[in-house]
């Protein structure tokens, strides 16, 4: 009797452990999938931004070429204009053209616009002039091909006088193909949504294009989208489409009122094990095949441990800026809360806001690849001149933020001067500065965290001090006016 009782206890224990670990495996698998999506999202978002930027660079290059010629030189060839024939190596740009302020048209191809075509009435012309900068238009339908496209356009000046708008077309199908080429997993898909919730691109279901997320049945997606609109970071979540559960991430694309998303359906082969009917089947099977269950439990536990280790790595990856190795804004928001609570009414913390001087001009002069190399060098130089428990964050673009625990304003200024000199001593060429080498400017603030102090103001003070340093000629350290 005791032997039978022991067997029953053993089998019941195996059943319980099998069901519990199966449930845990489901949870870890979903977390793992979300973390993989976030990692993929960060990489694909940055690649897409660079892909769009290359189109802008081609347009700006054509603009620079045209700037070197007179108005008469430009208009003497209204078709097949060689000044605009620089996009032959980029198949994503259909052609380049100029809409002139008198309503006439110059193009780098043999296309001749219809008689009723007036570029001054087109949105790409009007918006570029009104904003006086390079813009990407809303999506519209090409009147000849019937295909959807966007136009990159920029005001064109000759001798400081506006003569029209230079532009280039990018078809939405090319954007779709680019996104599709970036997805290595057949179970995942990418899409782009505009600020109003209209689906512009979808690599999996083209029937959704032009539809609004507010009018189609996607349970839980509207809340998901609204959260993305309220955040500058990637938003992850789950929602349901036609009864199918989906994990996804969504984030705003820099410089455009578009949002890029990557999604994948959940692994139903594992998830359905949690349904009550499946639980009964598992119970019966485990009662008959206790040995097989034992082996299954071993494999499940091993897989769960592996997934947990992967999730730890993925969570860390999601906190790191993949280009520079510094922490990113997502990590910064969490970490600031932690050190604020740790230091409250006890020790001062300091912030160094750092900006690479004339970085945009550096990119324009030496190219974006060199610009990326500079970001890595500056981040590495900073890390070599701060303590192990100081935290370096890529705050955005060419801006870095350092948070220093248990450090007052005087000590923080010494660290800032040390970093500034270390970058200066690298003697990296930058023709755009008066010194002819790459330099940085730094703003410093310090605070004793208290209940009546807003922690974001502390960061804002460092940013204000940085602005002052740049106003005073750059390559310098400035302290905030208000010392808490």
User: CB–CB of 266/247 below 8 Å?
Assistant: yes
| 16 contacts: CB under 8 Å, gap ≥ 6 | none
Copy the structure tokens of residue 312: 């730890």
CB atoms within 10 A of CB 269: 8
Q: Do the strands 477-479 and 440-447 form a parallel or antiparallel pair, or are they unpaired?
A: parallel
Among 353, 360, 355, 381, residue whose Cα is nearest residue 432: 360
Cα(374)–Cα(162) distance, integer angstroms: 35
99 near 164, Cβ under 8 Å? Answer: yes
- Strands, E assignment, 221-380: 235-241, 244-252, 258-265, 349-356
Strand-pair category, 477-479 with 105-107: unpaired
Q: Give the three-state DSSP class for 368.
A: helix
DSSP at 132 = T
**DSSP H helical segments within 219-367, as ranges?**
221-229, 268-271, 276-288, 290-317, 329-343, 359-366
* Catalytic residue check, 398: yes
Which position among 28, 40, 42, 398 bears the catalytic label?
A: 398
Q: CB 458: neighbour CB atoms within 10 A? A: 23
User: Cα dihedral sign for 421, 422, 423, 426?
Assistant: positive
CA angle 204/210/216 to nearest 5° reads: 80
Active-site residues, by number, are: 398
């Amino acid at each position: 009797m005791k032997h039978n009782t022991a067997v029953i206890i053993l089998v019941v224990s195996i059943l319980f452990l099998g069901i519990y670990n199966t449930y845990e495996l489901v949870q870890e698998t979903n977390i793992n999938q979300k973390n993989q999506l976030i990692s993929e999202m960060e990489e694909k978002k940055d690649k897409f931004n660079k892909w769009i930027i290359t189109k802008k660079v081609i347009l700006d290059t054509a603009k620079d070429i045209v700037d070197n010629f007179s108005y008469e030189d430009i208009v003497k060839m209204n078709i097949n204009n060689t000044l605009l024939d620089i996009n032959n190596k980029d198949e994503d740009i259909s052609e380049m053209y100029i809409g002139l302020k008198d309503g006439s048209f110059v193009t780098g191809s043999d296309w001749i616009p219809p008689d009723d075509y007036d570029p001054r009435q087109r949105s790409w012309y009007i918006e570029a002039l009104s904003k006086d900068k390079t813009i990407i238009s809303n999506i519209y339908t090409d009147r000849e091909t019937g295909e959807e496209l966007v136009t990159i356009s920029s005001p064109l000046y000759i001798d400081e006088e506006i003569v029209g708008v230079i532009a280039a077309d990018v078809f939405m199908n090319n954007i779709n193909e680019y996104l599709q080429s970036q997805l290595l997993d057949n179970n995942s898909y990418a899409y782009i949504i505009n600020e109003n919730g209209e689906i512009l691109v979808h690599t999996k279901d083209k029937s959704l294009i032009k539809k609004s997320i507010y009018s189609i049945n996607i349970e839980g997606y509207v809340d998901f989208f609204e959260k993305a609109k309220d955040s500058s970071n990637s938003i992850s979540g789950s929602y349901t489409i036609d009864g199918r559960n989906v994990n996804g991430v969504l984030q705003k694309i820099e410089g455009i009122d578009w949002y890029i998303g990557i999604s994948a359906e959940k692994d139903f082969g594992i998830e359905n094990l949690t349904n009550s009917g499946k639980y009964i089947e598992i119970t019966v099977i485990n009662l008959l095949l206790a040995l097989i269950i034992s082996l299954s439990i071993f494999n499940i536990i091993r897989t769960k441990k592996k997934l947990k280790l992967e999730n730890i790595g993925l969570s860390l990856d999601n906190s790191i800026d993949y280009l520079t190795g510094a922490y990113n804004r997502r990590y910064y928001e969490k970490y600031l809360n932690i050190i604020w609570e740790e230091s409250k009414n006890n020790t001062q913390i300091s912030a160094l806001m750092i900006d690479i001087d004339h970085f945009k001009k550096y990119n324009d002069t030496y190219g974006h690849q060199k610009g990326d190399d500079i970001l890595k060098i500056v981040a590495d130089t900073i890390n070599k001149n701060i303590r192990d428990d100081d935290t370096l964050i890529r705050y955005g673009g060419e801006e870095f933020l350092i948070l220093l625990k248990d450090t007052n304003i005087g000590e923080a200024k010494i660290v800032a001067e040390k970093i500034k000199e270390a970058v200066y001593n690298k003697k990296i060429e930058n023709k755009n500065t008066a010194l002819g080498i790459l330099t940085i400017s730094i703003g410093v603030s310090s605070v004793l965290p208290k209940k009546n102090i807003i922690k974001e103001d502390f960061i804002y003070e460092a940013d204000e001090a940085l602005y002052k340093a740049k106003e005073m000629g750059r390559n310098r350290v400035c302290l905030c006016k208000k010392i808490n």
